[in-house]
Amino acid sequence: MSLALVTGATSGLGLTFARTLAARGDDLVLVARDEARLDALATELRARGRTVHVVPADLSTRDGVARVVDAVHEHRIDLLVNNAGSSIGKFFGDTDIADEDSQLDLMVKAPMDLMAAALDVMRPRRSGRILNVASVAAFTPRGTYSAHKAWIVNLSRWMNIQFAPEGIVTTVLCPGFVRTEFHQRMGVDPSDVPGWMWTTTDQQVRGALRDLEKGKAVSVPTVRYKVLTTVAQYAPAGIVAAVAKRGRKVAE
């Protein structure tokens, strides 16, 4: 019996993580802002025999993060899925700095605080798993969003080296384009993204959980994105930025 805490469980990748983990027998702590959607998911998963705790929280706020840290300590979780995230839809320089501060809190500070809390409960028992959701954007120079994702890729790699000998595996998932509410929420029209670049939440979640079980530090599901991210890490940054720029249109 394993207990997993999933942030951003109300839609997209987080929803698929929650359903997939429940289907394989895990109990869950579900975190997001939308309490009605959390309750509906909890009801669905309890009907399948799972124990489910709901923690409504805005992870861009100090108070919200503190509540989830408390839940990590109280429930002594076995698996942390740091998935909640969003993007502003404008590039740094054209954004409001208050929005950037809030994004930094959500994308960097919240996962860091939750990883620290997870280590508190996992290190004494010498077992646990941490799955962080980054993006292939981590491998491209593309504003603060890709900088946040590069931060979590780098820290996850180190976490896996540092804590795997203590029985704690850290894997960072780097998805390409996935059909979720992400682009709609950021006010971006992704219709110019070629069909072959889209993946499903199932492909990403199954790939990530497989790589987590193997103890891999970085998970890039699908062959096409494995090739793209390998090229992106060795090609000149200017060329990578120019290609990445064609990926989507910003609606303002």
Residues annotated as catalytic are 145
Tell me: does residue 96 bind ligand NAP (CB under 6 A).
no
Looking from the CA of 42 toward its CB, the CA atoms found within 13 Å total 19
Tell me: does residue 222 bind ligand NAP (CB under 6 A).
no
- 30 token code pair: 């579900």
The one segment of 45-53, 80-88, 210-218, 237-245 that binds ligand NAP by CB under 6 A: 80-88
One-letter identity of residue 17: F
**Residue (85 or 221) nearer to ligand NAP, CB:** 85
Q: How far is the CB of 164 from ligand NAP (least distance, A)?
A: 23
Tell me: does residue 146 bind ligand NAP (CB under 6 A).
no
Tell me: does residue 207 bind ligand NAP (CB under 6 A).
no
Q: Annotate 11-66 with DSSP letters as a single string.
A: SHHHHHHHHHHHHTT-EEEEEES-HHHHHHHHHHHHTTT--EEEEE--TTSHHHHH
Give the Å distances, CA to CA, from 177 to 137, 168, 197.
10, 29, 6
Q: Give how many residues touch ligand NAP by CB under 6 A.
A: 28
Structure-token match 């025999």, residue found = 49
Tell me: does residue 143 bind ligand NAP (CB under 6 A).
no
Judged by the rule CB under 6 A, the positions of this chain that interact with ligand NAP are 8-14, 32-34, 37, 58-60, 83-86, 106, 133, 135, 175, 177-178, 180-182, 185
